Structure formats: structure tokens, C-alpha cells
Homo-oligomer: A and B are copies of this chain.
Amino acid sequence: MNANLTADRPTFVTHLECSLTGERYAADQLHGLSRAGRPLLVRYDLDAVAATVSRDALAARETDLWRWRELLPVRRTENIVSLGEVETPLVPIARSGGPGVLVKDEGRLPTGSFKARGLVMAVAMARELGVTRIAMPTNGNAGAALAAYATRCGIETIVLCPEDTPEVNVREIALQGARVWRVNGLIDDCGAIVGKGAADGRWFDFSTLKEPYRIEGKKTMGLELAAQFGWELPDAIFYPTGGGTGLIGMWKAFDELERLGWIGSKRPRMYAVQAAGCAPIVKAFEDGVEHAERWEDASTVAAGIRVPRAVGDFLILRAVRESGGRALAVDDGEILRAVDDAARQDGLLLCPEGGATLAAYRQAKADGLVGADERVVLFNCATGLKYPMPPADNWLDRHGTIDFDAL
């Protein structure tokens, strides 16, 4: 019924390219990192795209993620494994944020997080390229998305997560058909085990940016924003940054849209938001260097951005710097206060990582980095329902005398 999932549409991938050296790699073959050990980026014949479709034609399609097919790598429609990747809404938070502040609520995607965007693409490409066994380290949400999509098309999945990953994440991963293991370490410790098994040929490594297609899925956040803002872009974007795939992906999307002639050269200032307890990108940004050192003893309530080391660090830092933005750290107290304020004042339940973007926005506004009248987008990367909330213990005895004045 949704033509995006049934129509055969032309695809325009020409090749892949090392993000560090520019070395070319053939499309339609299975790749991990480049020979330089860096992420591969997918390149398209954008002139041919522009000659084939218009932005208006795309805007007229059903609004899910697959409307962007000509800018995505999947060649054959039959390889698309969909769970209903809706366009996520922009929700104003006038009270806890301000008049121009919009939350892009990514919790509406399958499995309740923006990880679905990356994984729906990576799984389709894995299927297209004949992969039958995948392993991945995760802080929770990526594993859940992988499990759901891989299960749906019969790909075997092994997921490794830090021992303190929220219970709901571990359970949903298992229930959705993956084999999930808790590891006494952080996400990069899990990643080391996944990498060893991949080197031994036991499975394909689906770590962040270690296969080329998750970034293409995350790119759709930037494409959607452009369409939702009427082919202009907001003034500033606050993005919770762990591995940074989404920030890198949006930056790539804006570049492709400009080359297509669908947007102008104006860019949002990109703010990479991290937790004070795990802020390697912030440190590298402030030190003026291109690569970040591993953050030791990483700790934060926002588990999704507890990523001590990011293989795409230089891509994140480049995008932030080119955009005139910054990398910002917020502490856990501010994160929890922001979550609480958005819920109590605007009725919107953010995840801790989403709360971090609101906290960072407030800080940036106080510091004069953002004007009160600017159009700002905060990314709420997952539904707040997955995270612990404070208890609420009021009891009422229906057999007793009810004090209505006290209700």
C-alpha cells in the first residue's frame, strides 16, 4: 500500500570512499573499515539523481524514511526490511525550552529509537550483500534495532552490551530473537570482542561506522529536517553524541542536498552534546585537535552517549567546526533536571540523552551562543519510556473515607 516499499526505484550509488584518505572502493561488495582503518562513505551520482527526481516529487510521497530512496544505497526493493519507519514529528517545548525550540522525537521509530534509521539500512544492505551472521556492541538501543530487523529477515544476530545496560534494552533484544550477552566493561570493550570474532570470520561486524550503511540511514534525519523546514534548515541543531553517526550523517545529507540544488549553502550550527562524565569529543574540540583520546572511567546516566572512543571522531569534529558550532558537556544533574522539566512543563518525556540536548541548549543560551529567537532543533533519540523514572506512591483506600480535598 505504501509505494515507497513496493515501487522499484532507480538507485545511484557509484562507489564508496575512505573518509580520511579519499581512496575509492567498489560498491556492491561487502566492506568494513577502509584500509586506513576509517569509515567508508557512500557516494552517489547526484547529477543523475537531480535529473531523475525533484524535491517536490519526493515531498509528495508517503513520508516514511523510504521516500528518500534515490539518495539511499539499497538497490533492490525486495531487500528492504521495514517495521514502519515513520517521519518523526517536531514537537515544540515552549516552556522548558523556549519559543523557537523544537524536539525531533525519534522515539516514534521502530524499537523506540533513532537507531532504527541506521539499522534498517544496514540490515537491508547486509541482506543485499549476502551476510547471514552479524555481531554488534551496543549500549542498548542499537542492539534492539538490529535484533528486530535482522530477526525479521532471518539473519542471525549476536549482541554484546555493558553489564549495566538498562534491563528493558537487554530484554527486548533477547525477545526480538538475538543472542545477547552482558560484558563486564564499556561499549568499546564489547566492541573489541566483536572485532576479534569478525577477524576470525565468525560474523560480520556491525559496530558504529565500521560498516558503511548505518550512516546512510541516519542521514535521513537531515533529509527529513530539510523537508520539514520547507527546504531551509534550522539555525542550530543539538545532537547527543556518542559514536556520532547521526551528526556525521546529517552533515553529509546537507552537503548532498546542496549539490542537488535542493537547499542553499546556509547550514545549522551543529552542537555535539556529551555528558561531563564522558566527553572525549568536547576535550578534542577544546584542545583544537582532530582526533579524540579515549575517555577513561566514563560514567553518566545517559548511557547512549557513554562512548569513550569514537572511530569517526575526526568527522564529528570537522562537521562541528565547519558549521560554526561547538562540542558541549553537561553534567548528570542538569540532564535529569531537563528531563523532569520537559515532562512537567511540556508533557514530553525525553530520554536522558534527549535531556542532555535540552540542558546543553539552556547552557548555550545562557552563554550567548544561541539567540532566544533562533530556530533550534534538539534530538530526542529514544522514547523516555525505556528509562528509570522516579517512583510515584500515592495510595487511596476505596473502602475508607476519601478526603477529596487532598486529591
Chain B residues with CB under 8 Å of A345's CB are 151, 177
A85-100 contacts to B, CB under 8 A, are 85-91
Residues on B with C-beta less than 8 A from A150 are: 347
Q: Which of A34-42, A183-191, A316-324 contacts B (4 or more CB under 8 A)?
A: A183-191
Q: Could you tell me the distance between the alpha carbons of A390 and B171 in the complex, rounded to whole angstroms?
A: 6
The yes or no answer to A211 lying at the interface (CB within 8 A) is no
User: Is the Cβ of B228 less than 8 Å from the Cβ of A390?
Assistant: no
Closest to A158 in B: B407
10 contacts between A and B (CB under 8 A): A1-B228, A1-B229, A86-B88, A135-B407, A172-B349, A174-B389, A174-B392, A182-B396, A184-B399, A200-B404
| A294 contacts across to B, CB distance below 8 A | none
The stretch that binds B, out of A48-56, A104-112, A275-283, A326-334, is A104-112
Interface string of A139-163 (1 = CB under 8 A from B): 0000000011111100000101001
Say whether B392 contacts A170, CB under 8 Å.
Answer: yes
Contact check, A171 vs B86: say whether CB atoms are below 8 A apart: no
CA distance A229 to B2 in the complex (A): 9
Is A402 in contact with B172, judged by CB distance below 8 angstroms? Answer: no
**A340–B189 CA distance with the chains assembled, in angstroms:** 31
Considering only CB atoms, which chain B residue lies closest to A203 in the complex? Answer: B407
**4 new A-B contacts at CB < 8 Å, known A86-B86, A171-B390:** A86-B108, A111-B349, A174-B389, A175-B389
Chain B residue at smallest Cβ distance from A405: B202
**Chain A 61-103 per-residue mask, 1 if CB under 8 angstroms from chain B, else 0:** 0111000000000000000001111111111000000000000
How far does the Cβ of A326 sit from chain B's closest Cβ, in whole Å?
26
B residues less than 8 Å from A25 (CB atoms): none
Decide if A385 is an interface residue (CB 8 Å cutoff): yes
A391 within 8 A of B: yes
Among all A-B residue pairs, the 7 with the closest Cβ atoms = A84-B89, A174-B392, A148-B347, A171-B389, A152-B347, A151-B347, A181-B396
| CB of A310 within 8 Å of the partner chain | no
Closest residue of chain B to A200, judged by CB? B404
Instruction: Count residues of A near B (Cβ-Cβ below 8 Å).
Output: 85
* Contact for A349 among B87, B175, B389, B390, CB less than 8 A: B175
Q: Give A345 to B153 CA distance when docked, in angstroms.
A: 9
- Nearest Cβ distance between residue A388 and chain B, in whole angstroms? 8
Query: Which residue in chain B gives the minimum CB-CB distance to A394?
Result: B181
A215 at the interface (CB under 8 A from B): no
Chain A 290-314 residues near chain B, CB threshold 8 A:
none
Minimal Cβ-Cβ distance residue in B for A382: B385
Give the contacts of A335-393 with B (CB-CB under 8 A): 340, 343-349, 383-386, 389-393
In the complex, what distance in Å separates the CA atom of A383 from the CA atom of B105? 15
Decide yes or no whether A11 CB sits under 8 A from chain B.
Answer: no
Given known A-B contacts A112-B385, A385-B385, A176 and B404 have beta carbons under 8 A apart: no
Known: A112-B383, A171-B391, A398-B185. A343 touches B176 (CB 8 A): yes
